[in-house]
């Protein structure tokens, strides 16, 4: 077993920072020590197999992206990152665990959906991975199957109030699934948008000839997110289910989450980098010589990018500061422009929904530290520690302490990262939604369970090294 000492860095946790050395024994953190510690009369640095000099760098727990969609069949095509390419891109960006969504579609069994996801992932991941379960067909059978999932290490499931005819659940189905959530302690994750009403608005816009990607954002109005968020909260209140709202983008939806939390309800929310930085006007409304007004398709996702004039982005940053929202995930769901997003030329409803960001989440959120919106500790909390606690991984993941997996990132605050044309990212996409973003900071070295997978702009990971994470119940619930 290789012993490694990471020396001279500033170890950052969700609650503090300090100069410390980290001793790794094989795959596990063995000790966090005073810098330059002596053990049994020997200088520790002289007695380990490998020393990694972290001087001038932050030493943080590896990122945990709790919302990804690798190989998701959606919108008549399939998300373009596989478990292999997606976990490689994650590692490049300092993310060492992902939680992807296994899918049960209409008319199929939960057990089969989960088995299919194991098949897709097994032997292909460079970093550790877990699953949430998408329930696309709430029936008595699927509810029974759901009850058995915690034993399989799947302790959360996602329901959709959006996408009628695809993943949509009506209120009666949601109520029943939430009763299972209450009984088992599984976390209910909700895509909170009023799908049936949105579909009417979208059809009316298309009839009026308003077919550009921009109108995706008009049809999916913030009122539809606020309303669905409120409805989900009330159904959770009634049933006693713990509730986690995914990809929150509207300031009015945040107000709903905050209102429920202030009453003491177990309601949580995540937002995603795109809702912090990007907007209806600038991105969905963009045009280019290559794509004309269809350029905006690069940023078609649901919930949609919101109007900057209405202040949604500022409200997301504020919610991250005040803990009205607890986490940042990517909702990584990449589609290429060619042959995929293109399906929606002439009708925005046919553009496959999703943005790819898995490689950039740690960097993008670090910009919040640079601008003073977030503390260093809050950065670690939002991107690693809370995801671990929320989804039953804490202790193993999300923290640098003895006994934890040695998932560690050396982050250089004086480095620089240019997110350039598609050749400079590692996601399996023919464009980047983050093209042109200049990042203060750089992911220098990434360890996954003690193995260096990225170092000095070199990829050293191996497909198949990532293991399935059997998760426990949430450690975040009161």
Closer CB to Zn ion, 74 or 348, in the complex: 74
The interface mask with ligand URP, positions 198-237, x = CB under 6 A, is ----------------------------------------
The entry of ligand URP, Zn ion, none near residue 415 (CB within 5 to 8 angstroms by kind) is Zn ion
Closer CB to ligand URP, 91 or 333, in the complex: 333
Contact of 306 with 238, CB cutoff 8 Å: no
The entry of Zn ion, ligand URP, none near residue 412 (CB within 5 to 8 angstroms by kind) is Zn ion
Sole binder of ligand URP in the list 354, 356, 450, 461 (CB under 6 A):
354
Closer CB to ligand URP, 324 or 331, in the complex: 331
Closer CB to ligand URP, 37 or 173, in the complex: 173
The entry of ligand URP, Zn ion, none near residue 442 (CB within 5 to 8 angstroms by kind) is Zn ion
Residue 301 binding ligand URP, by CB under 6 A: yes
Please give the structure tokens belonging to residue 263. 């009453």
The entry of Zn ion, ligand URP, none near residue 354 (CB within 5 to 8 angstroms by kind) is ligand URP
Minimum distance from CB of 373 to ligand URP (Å)? Answer: 24
The entry of Zn ion, ligand URP, none near residue 444 (CB within 5 to 8 angstroms by kind) is Zn ion
The interface mask with ligand URP, positions 315-344, x = CB under 6 A, is ----------------x-x-----------
Closer CB to ligand URP, 91 or 134, in the complex: 134
Closer CB to ligand URP, 57 or 69, in the complex: 69
Closer CB to Zn ion, 52 or 399, in the complex: 52
Closer CB to ligand URP, 192 or 286, in the complex: 192
Contact of 380 with 402, CB cutoff 8 Å: no
The residues in 230-289 that bind ligand URP, with binding defined as CB under 6 A, are 247
Minimum distance from CB of 67 to ligand URP (Å)? Answer: 7
Contact of 156 with 474, CB cutoff 8 Å: yes
Query: CB under 8 Å to 153, separation ≥6 — which residues?
Result: 130, 131, 468, 469, 470, 471, 472
Closer CB to Zn ion, 162 or 260, in the complex: 162
Question: Closest Cα partner for 173 from 141, 132, 133?
Answer: 141
Sole binder of ligand URP in the list 13, 82, 302, 384 (CB under 6 A):
302
Minimum distance from CB of 218 to ligand URP (Å)? Answer: 16
The interface mask with ligand URP, positions 49-88, x = CB under 6 A, is --------------------x-------------------
Minimum distance from CB of 247 to Zn ion (Å)? Answer: 6
Contact of 450 with 406, CB cutoff 8 Å: yes
The entry of Zn ion, ligand URP, none near residue 212 (CB within 5 to 8 angstroms by kind) is none
Minimum distance from CB of 304 to Zn ion (Å)? Answer: 11
Question: Interface with Zn ion by CB under 5 A: which residues?
Answer: 191, 331, 412, 415, 442, 444
The residues in 21-40 that bind ligand URP, with binding defined as CB under 6 A, are none
Question: Closest Cα partner for 216 from 137, 149, 304, 148?
Answer: 304
Minimum distance from CB of 57 to Zn ion (Å)? Answer: 7
β pairing state of 438-448 and 451-455? antiparallel
Closer CB to ligand URP, 176 or 247, in the complex: 247
Residue number closest to ligand URP, CB atom: 353
Distance CA 324, CA 52 (A): 38
Distance CA 348, CA 212 (A): 6
Sole binder of ligand URP in the list 184, 353, 386, 445 (CB under 6 A):
353
Minimum distance from CB of 459 to Zn ion (Å)? Answer: 16
Please give the structure tokens belonging to residue 259. 């209102």
The entry of Zn ion, ligand URP, none near residue 132 (CB within 5 to 8 angstroms by kind) is none
Minimum distance from CB of 231 to Zn ion (Å)? Answer: 16
The interface mask with ligand URP, positions 179-198, x = CB under 6 A, is ------------x-------
What's the 3-state SS for the chain? Answer: CCEEEEEEEEEECCCCEEEEEEEEECCEEEEEECCCCEECCEEHHHHCCEEEECCCCEEEECEEEEEECCCCEECCEECCCCHHHHHHHHHHCCEEEEEEEEEECCCCCHHHHHHHHHHHHCCCCCCEEEEEEEECCCCHHHHHHHHCHHHHCCCEEEEECCCCCCCECCHHHHHHHHHHHHHHCCEEEEECCCHHHHHHHHHHHHHCCCCCCHHHHHHCCHHHHHHHHHHHHHHHHHHCCCEEECCCCCHHHHHHHHHHHHCCCCEEEEECHHHHHCCHHHHHCCCECCCEHHHHHHHCCCCCCCCCCCCHHHHHHHHHHHCCCCEECCCECCCCCCCCHHHHCCCHHHCCCCECCCCCHHHHHHHHHHCCCCCHHHHHHHHHHHHHHHCCCECCECCCCCCCECCEEEEEEEEEEECCCHHHCCCCCCCCCCCCCEEEEEEEEEEECCEEEEECCEECCCCCCCCECCCCCCCCCC
Which parts of this chain interact with ligand URP (CB under 6 A)?
Answer: 69, 191, 247, 301-302, 331, 333, 353-354
């Amino acid at each position: 077993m290789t012993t490694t000492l990471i020396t001279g860095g500033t170890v950052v946790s969700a609650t503090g920072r300090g100069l410390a050395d980290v001793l790794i024994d094989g795959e596990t953190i063995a000790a966090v020590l005073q810098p330059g510690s002596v053990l049994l009369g020997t200088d520790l640095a002289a007695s380990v197999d490998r020393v990694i000099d972290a001087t001038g760098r932050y030493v943080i727990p590896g990122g945990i992206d709790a919302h990804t969609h690798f190989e998701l069949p959606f919108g008549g095509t399939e998300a373009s990152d596989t478990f292999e390419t997606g976990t490689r891109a994650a590692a490049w960006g300092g993310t060492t665990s992902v939680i992807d969504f296994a899918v049960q579609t209409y008319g199929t069994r939960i057990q089969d959906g989960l088995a299919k996801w194991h098949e897709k992932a097994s032997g292909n991941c460079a970093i550790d991975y877990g699953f949430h379960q998408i329930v696309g067909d709430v029936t008595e059978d699927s509810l029974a199957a759901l009850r058995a999932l915690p034993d399989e290490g799947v302790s959360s499931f996602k329901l959709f109030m959006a996408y009628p005819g695809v993943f949509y659940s009506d209120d009666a189905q949601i109520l029943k699934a939430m009763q299972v959530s209450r009984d088992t302690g599984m976390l209910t994750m909700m895509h909170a948008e009023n799908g049936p009403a949105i579909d009417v608005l979208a059809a009316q816009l298309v009839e009026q000839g308003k077919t550009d990607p921009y109108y995706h954002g008009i049809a999916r109005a913030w009122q539809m997110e606020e309303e669905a968020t409120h409805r989900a909260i009330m159904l959770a209140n009634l049933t006693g289910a713990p509730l986690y709202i995914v990809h929150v983008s509207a300031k009015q939806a945040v107000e709903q989450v905050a209102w429920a939390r202030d009453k003491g309800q177990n309601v949580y929310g995540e937002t995603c980098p795109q809702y912090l930085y990007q907007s209806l006007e600038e991105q969905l409304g963009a045009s280019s010589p290559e794509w004309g007004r269809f350029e905006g398709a690069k940023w078609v996702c649901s919930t949609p990018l919101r109007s900057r004039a209405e202040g949604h982005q500022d409200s997301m940053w504020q919610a991250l500061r005040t803990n009205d929202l607890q986490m940042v995930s990517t909702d990584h769901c990449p589609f290429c422009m060619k042959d995929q997003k293109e399906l929606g030329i002439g009708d925005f409803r046919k553009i496959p929904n999703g943005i790819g960001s898995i490689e950039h989440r740690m960097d993008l959120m670090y910009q919040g530290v640079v601008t003073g919106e977030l503390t260093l500790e809050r950065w670690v909390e939002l991107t690693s520690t809370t995801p671990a606690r929320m989804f039953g991984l804490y202790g193993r993941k999300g923290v640098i302490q003895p006994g934890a997996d040695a998932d560690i990132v050396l982050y250089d605050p004086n480095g620089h990262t240019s997110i350039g044309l598609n050749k400079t990212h590692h996601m399996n996409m023919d464009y980047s939604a983050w093209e042109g973003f200049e990042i203060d900071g750089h992911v220098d070295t990434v360890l996954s369970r003690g193995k260096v997978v990225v170092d000095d702009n070199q990829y050293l990971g191996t497909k198949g090294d990532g293991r399935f994470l059997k998760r426990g119940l949430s450690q975040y619930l009161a």
